[in-house]
Amino acid sequence: MSLLRIENLTIRTGGQALVKDMSLVIEPGARVGLIGESGSGKSLTALAAIGLLPPGLKPEGSILLDGVQVIGASEEKLKALRGRTAAFVFQEPLTALDPLMKIGRQVAEPIARRHRRDGRSAGRQEIVAEVRHYLERVALPDIDRIMNAYPFQISGGQRQRVAIAMALACRPKLLIADEPTTALDVTTQAEILELLSTLVREEGMALLFISHDLPVVAKVAEEVTVLRRGQVVEQGPVRSVFGSPQHEYTKMLVDAAAAFDRALGAQQ
């Protein structure tokens, strides 16, 4: 059974279709990239996958997440699905963390919730130990300080690591990362990408990686879906899609990336 199977998804607001007839399949453990320019519907697709579209947006088609039909599902059913099946990492690490809550407590929240769901009450000690475990997992230094810090007291890269730790702490089958490195500088970006790839592989999670940046997607994903104005223009293994792009838009993306590489090469 596929972990996520989106078929003929159309998202409408008023008369306008923001996403049109989109299909996407993610197998357990697969790493899939979703690439497209700003406003092409990447985030909406990801939110639709867990039934969290903003009010006023209507999905049509079929979305099977871990075998459950998301479209039309009750909030109760979706809540049970969220977190344990799919967890999110967002673009802007500052706004993705509650500014008034210490890091330790924020990471503890998904852990405590997971234990509650599994029907066992975990003691404070146990949860703190798990918080440390996940903060270590994302290679944060100085964990004692960070656990007691507020989000504004740590760096952007560290915040994104915390956000990843929070997503991991849900132990999801699918990690959805929506442009998780866009707000970071190049070095930090590379570190976070490396971290994500490693973690996903080690924890056996599937990854849906959203970006508008071709080299970034090429780095972490095995398969890629190219989205343009709400429609899939190309889909397949990263090698073949980026190796011999068929659609104009994909060609343009590849050319732009190649031009950048050449410019870099010429400089050295």
Partner 1 sequence: MTDLVDLQAPAPARRTPRSLTLSVGLVLVGLHLFVALLTLFWTPYDPTAMTGGRLEPPSWAHWAGTDRLGRDLFTQIMIGSRIALTVGAGAVAIAAAIGVTLGVLAAFATRTLDDVLAATFDILIAFPTLLLAMLVVAATDTASLFSAILALGIAISAIVARLTRILAKRVLAMDYITAARTAGSSWPSIVFRHVLPNIWPTLSVNFALQFGIAIIAEASLSYLGLGAPPPNASWGRLLQEAQGTVYTAPFGAVAPGIALVSLVIGMNLLADGLRDVGDPTRRRSR
Ligand X SMILES: Nc1ncnc2c1ncn2[C@@H]1O[C@H](COP(=O)(O)OP(=O)(O)OP(=O)(O)O)[C@@H](O)[C@H]1O
Q: Which has the closest alpha carbon to 33: 257, 239, 238, 252?
A: 238
- CA dist 88 and 91 (Å) reads 10
Nearer to ligand X, 18 or 166 (CB): 18
Backbone torsions φ then ψ of 16, nearest 5 degrees: -90, 135
| Strands of the 31-36 sheet, one edge to the other | 86-89, 174-178, 206-211, 31-36, 223-228, 231-237
Q: Which does 13 bind (CB under 5 to 8 A by kind): ligand X, partner 1, Mg ion, none?
A: ligand X
**Residue 197: partners with Cβ closer than 8 Å, 6 or more residues away:** 31, 219, 220
Nearer to ligand X, 42 or 173 (CB): 42
Nearer to ligand X, 37 or 191 (CB): 37
Q: Residue 145 CB, nearest distance to partner 1 (Å)? A: 15
Nearer to Mg ion, 104 or 180 (CB): 180
Q: Which does 100 bind (CB under 5 to 8 A by kind): Mg ion, ligand X, partner 1, none?
A: partner 1
- In DSSP terms, 89 is beta-bridged to 177
First to last CA, the chain: 49
Site string for partner 1, 125-164 (x = CB under 8 A): -------------------------x-xx---------x-
Q: Which does 258 bind (CB under 5 to 8 A by kind): Mg ion, ligand X, partner 1, none?
A: none
CB contact at 8 A, 154 and 141: no
In single-letter form, the type of residue at position 263 comes to: A
Interface pick for partner 1 out of 87, 177, 208, 216 (rule CB under 8 A)? 87
Subset of 19-48 contacting ligand X (CB under 6 A): 36, 38-44
Binding site for partner 1 (CB under 8 A): 47, 50, 52, 55-56, 79-84, 86-88, 90-92, 95-101, 109-110, 113, 117, 150, 152-153, 163, 166-167, 170, 176
